Chains A and B, each alone.
Chain A
Amino acid sequence: MRYSAFRVLQEALRGHKGWRPLWRDPEPQAAYDTVIVGGGGHGLATAYYLANTFKQSRIAVLEKGWLGSGNIGRNTTIIRSNYLLPGNEPFYEFSMKLWENLEQEFNFNAMVSQRGVVNLFHTDGQRDAYRRRGNAAILAGADAELLERDALRAMIPFLNFDNARFPVKGGLLQRRGGTARHDGVAWGYARGADRAGVDLIQNCEVTGFRIENGTVKGVETSRGFIGAKKVGVAVAGSTSRVMAQAGMGQLPIESHVLQAFVSEGLKPTIPGVITFGAGHFYISQSDKGGLVFGGDIDGYNSYAQRGNLPTVEDVAEGGMAVMPMIGRARLLRMWGGIMDMSMDGSPIIDRTPIDGLYLNSGWCYGGFKATPASGYAFAHLLATDRPHETAGAYRLDRFQRGTVIDEKGAGAQPNLH
């Protein structure tokens, strides 16, 4: 389907009866070469790159609900690549480069907007830590600028610079960071995958795996058995539930709920993405004008896609501490999503001990920015059986080998990452 201003006008005059679905709704075939479990951002991106970049065929994506019905449809849409550790930073920078070319790649408006991400610091120690993080990012080919207080004030004058407890001393700015239209990302990948011949099968829940002699043969689903030579699982918060069906119920993963919020629409006021360094609060403004913000996960294991009020209060307090001007904006919506919190706060893209079964998980609450690289690296692994060069550290067995990638240094406690 082609979009143009003329087409929009034409359809407006015809009562919008000419629009067609962007992808087919196929019946599942008896067998595929590769089955991706999970039709979210990462699963769809995987199918897209598998078919388009790695030229694989006979691919299906199985989704228990509708495409993009999980965390890709309920996040705060921030993209950035300002990580610290060598296992992470090249991967996220690779993801940023894919973001920068995403719309040209799949010819769909994902509204990638590099409006800048600034992480505020409030103490001298935090300035040093951010300087180090910025240098690590630059070493990996990303961009980073350390802004002192005056430069920051010129850019974002409305911050509470003289907060008695958390004075703003400056910020680490990544100009290439920003936001993207989360649903557009899923739709663009879905359409691109569908056009390349991938079967996107919705309302098809995986209920079991058929494993013979340690090799996966296919998946049992709510729409019958589907054979597969390779199965890739990318199901975020449902990882433990799905993998338990393959006998891998014990994983370095806990599922936690993260809440996010949108205010009523306001005139343009927040120039990019701003994160509060003393608490945990991050905010941007959508193109419709709503303030999109969030904070910490609730902190206890949860599969409920809703959180509790104490976290709402905590997020609101963080927002009021850093920019009191938003205090009179009314909250329009809030929601919760289930995060696959890993034991070191970093993801897993790896084979499993079962031949032909691959796992993509552990994204914690940073999975959105990773969507393109996650899909690319997972497709690389599924197609070649070798990890992508930027994802070599994301091994499932790194916990046993003691090579964890712990950005925060919080240890094996997922609710602290």
Chain B
Amino acid sequence: MLIPHPLLGLRDAQEFSYLGDASLLLRPDGMAENAAETFFPYVYLRENPAGLHRELWFHEQGDRSWLVVTRNTVTHEILGAELAGDVVARNRASRDGGDLA
């Protein structure tokens, strides 16, 4: 698989390590009253879709950036990648709108 790195162009997926669903960017507030309830689904529950999946890849053997890659889990086709930092910034900007990562 080749991942279209937004800064470095097409890179072999072997240069990356895989973390999982990009919903991990939406970390709940650990100091909130209901932290135990919100952290359970955050840590353990996954959508696990057959089809398009937004997921975190770390460019470990490269520029060490985190990417959010959109990939089809049925065909392994990669449809796009963006810097995770950009996704987080966008989430912050529209947090009240409830936009997902």
Chain A interface residues (CB < 8 Å from chain B):
240-241, 249-255, 299-304, 308, 310, 343, 399-400, 412-415
Main secondary structure of the interface of B (DSSP, over half): mixed
Q: Sample 23 A-B pairs with CB under 8 A, ordered by A number.
A: A249-B47, A249-B48, A250-B45, A251-B45, A252-B44, A252-B45, A253-B48, A255-B73, A300-B13, A300-B55, A300-B71, A301-B21, A301-B53, A301-B55, A302-B76, A303-B74, A304-B74, A304-B76, A308-B1, A308-B76, A399-B40, A400-B40, A415-B20
Q: How many A-B residue pairs have CB under 8 A?
A: 66
The answer, among B1, B14, B43, B55, for a CB contact under 8 Å with A412, is B43
Q: Point out the residues of chain B lying under 8 angstroms from A302, CB to CB.
A: 73, 76
Q: Point out the residues of chain A lying under 8 angstroms from B74, CB to CB.
A: 303-304
Q: Point out the residues of chain A lying under 8 angstroms from B98, CB to CB.
A: none
Q: Do A254 and B46 form a contact, CB below 8 Å, given A399-B40, A414-B20?
A: yes
Of B19, B40, B71, most buried by chain A (CB within 10 Å of CB) is: B40
Does B50 touch A at the CB level, under 8 Å?
A: yes
Per-position 1/0 for B63-81, Cβ under 8 A of A? 0000000010111100000
Q: Point out the residues of chain B lying under 8 angstroms from A415, CB to CB.
A: 18, 20
User: CA separation between A413 and B14, bound complex, in Å?
Assistant: 19
Q: Point out the residues of chain A lying under 8 angstroms from B13, CB to CB.
A: 300, 308, 310
Give, as a whole number of angstroms, the nearest-CB distance from A178 to chain B.
33
Q: Point out the residues of chain A lying under 8 angstroms from B19, CB to CB.
A: 413
Q: Point out the residues of chain B lying under 8 angstroms from A253, CB to CB.
A: 46, 48
The answer, among B1, B40, B44, B73, for a CB contact under 8 Å with A301, is B73
Give, as a whole number of angstroms, the nearest-CB distance from A338 to chain B.
9
User: CA separation between A400 and B71, bound complex, in Å?
Assistant: 29
Q: Check if B50 sits within 8 Å of A241, measured CB to CB.
A: yes
Which 4 A-B pairs rank lowest in CB-CB distance, beginning with the nearest?
A240-B48, A250-B45, A399-B44, A303-B50
Question: Which of B1-52 touch A at CB < 8 Å?
Answer: 1, 13-14, 18-21, 40-41, 43-50
Q: Check if B48 sits within 8 Å of A251, measured CB to CB.
A: yes
**In chain A, what residue has the closest Cβ to B45?**
A250
User: CA separation between A299 and B13, bound complex, in Å?
Assistant: 11
**In chain A, what residue has the closest Cβ to B36?**
A400
Q: Check if B47 sits within 8 Å of A240, measured CB to CB.
A: yes
User: CA separation between A415 and B21, bound complex, in Å?
Assistant: 12
**In chain B, what residue has the closest Cβ to A412?**
B43
Give, as a whole number of angstroms, the nearest-CB distance from B62 to chain A.
15
User: CA separation between A241 and B47, bound complex, in Å?
Assistant: 9
Q: Do A299 and B18 form a contact, CB below 8 Å, given A240-B47, A399-B44, A400-B40?
A: yes
Q: Check if B45 sits within 8 Å of A300, measured CB to CB.
A: no
User: CA separation between A413 and B56, bound complex, in Å?
Assistant: 12
Give, as a whole number of angstroms, the nearest-CB distance from A301 to chain B.
5
Give, as a whole number of angstroms, the nearest-CB distance from A224 to chain B.
24
Q: Point out the residues of chain B lying under 8 angstroms from A301, CB to CB.
A: 20-21, 48, 53, 55, 73
**In chain A, what residue has the closest Cβ to B1?**
A308
